[in-house]
Amino acid sequence: MGPPGAGKTQTWKTLIKSNEKIQKKIDYVDIDPKVLHSRDLYGYMLPSKEWKDGLLSKLLRTYSEMESTNPKWLILDGDLDANWIESMNSVMDDNKILTLANNERIPLKSHMRMIFEIRDLKYSTPATVSRAGILYISDDYGHQWRSFVKSWIDQNYAGEKETGPNLQKLFDRYIEPTLNYIKKACKFNVPVT
């Protein structure tokens, strides 16, 4: 989760490349669920009572039926929408099964993952949020380090009237200029293999 341009896509692509370096192939598909109507995403019944698969149901079924236990990622790159995310709750809970309108159940096996690349949680429900592990990719405004500092001070100095606020002032005064200096004046040595 994070604003556009924060590096969400690059994060999972880097993870895929790092796995390839250790000969661990990851099969993945990147789709935007917002470009499809919910019925085209999950599937629907034709008037003849015949089932028409949607993109997501077809991809999940294909991954589920593959014999290979290589990691398989389905990346849903697009803002959350109540129309399609609520149907994901059964996949995200302990059952890990997508239940379709035709009562077919497609399991999300242990080597399969669904990754949601989203901007925010504005349209998500508590049920959705509680079932997901969330990685916040910060932007350039420093929200991420500020959140860590606030959390650390709250956990360690909650009852103290002076120490917590004084630490917060010191972090506010020194960390941002230090990070800006590092960003502008320092060169990182990253070994290339």
C-alpha–C-alpha distance, residues 8 and 77, integer Å: 10
pLDDT at 73 over 70: yes
Residue with tokens 């993870």: 15
pLDDT at 55 over 90: yes
The three-class DSSP label of residue 112 is strand
* pLDDT higher at 141 or 193: 141
Tell me the HSE value of 51 on the side-chain side, using a 13 A CA sphere.
12
Q: Please, which pLDDT band fits residue 140 given cuts at 50, 70 and 90?
A: low
C-alpha–C-alpha distance, residues 78 and 47, integer Å: 31
What integer is the mean pLDDT of 151-170? Answer: 90
